[in-house]
Amino acid sequence: MHERAGQPALETDLVDIDALLAAYENLVPDPAVPAQRVVFGTSGHRGSSLNRSFNRAHIAAISIAIAEYRAVQGIEGPLFIGSDTHALSAPAEHTAREVLLARGVHVVSAAGTGDETFVPTPALSHAILTHNRDRAADDPHRADGIIVTPSHNPPVDGGFKYNPPHGGPADTDATNWIAARANELLESGADLYAASAGVTHGHEGGYDFLGEYVEGVENVINVAAIRDAGVRFAAHPLGGASIAYWGRSEIVMTSI
């Protein structure tokens, strides 16, 4: 265990959010520098805007590559997108949404306000699987998704992950294709975002990730048995993306 575990944060631990967001918008990665290229690790690309490894150019390039990958795979259904509480997540989702919309992708994002707008990864997977439940593997109307999160990474980081129609993390065949194409786009030197700025046509911003996920829990877990057993437990929502989900789950547990 770390020697400072459980102790209050020091001033040196805090992140300059304004600087982080400004770097996302203004710093341009150099694809000739390996650390500034698109690299998919555990299901996604991660990095910080401050060291030019997670900037608007990266997200625009990856989003274009995903739009092209969908076309190659014959995927024409909606693309669900959600993000967590990391500071870089909201601007990255905004960039991705506009770039995808400009390329004719039907993008679906979260309904609600405040904590309800954050989307944990399982909720995004649930949305994809629910849409695809009765669809054949070659149905062009299958859905896929993007979850904008670096998971357990520190506050300065952003993360961007693609989930294909099976709902889980993309395999290396997909991520290698997407990363290679994204780096080609970065190497072109073009402004990959400019033509997409302000595009909203095709955006559906009212999907209830929270309600659909929580209401589906009782279909796979006997929540009544848990309630009746009087079990008490604590949950750590980590970065906070699931805070609203735990609150809604408590209501479901007590209403059965």
109 is catalytic: no
DSSP-assigned letter for residue 141: T
CA distance 249 to 256: 11
Ramachandran sector of residue 117 (left: φ over 0; alpha: ψ -120 to 50; beta: rest): alpha
Q: Give strand pairing partners of 145.
A: 80, 163
Q: Pick the catalytic residue from 49, 53, 109, 151.
A: 151
The CA-based diameter of the chain, rounded to the nearest angstrom, is: 61
Where b means 16+ CB within 10 Å and e means fewer, 49-69 reads bbebbbbbbbbbbbbbbbbbb
Ramachandran sector of residue 189 (left: φ over 0; alpha: ψ -120 to 50; beta: rest): left
CA distance 72 to 81: 20
Catalytic residues: 151
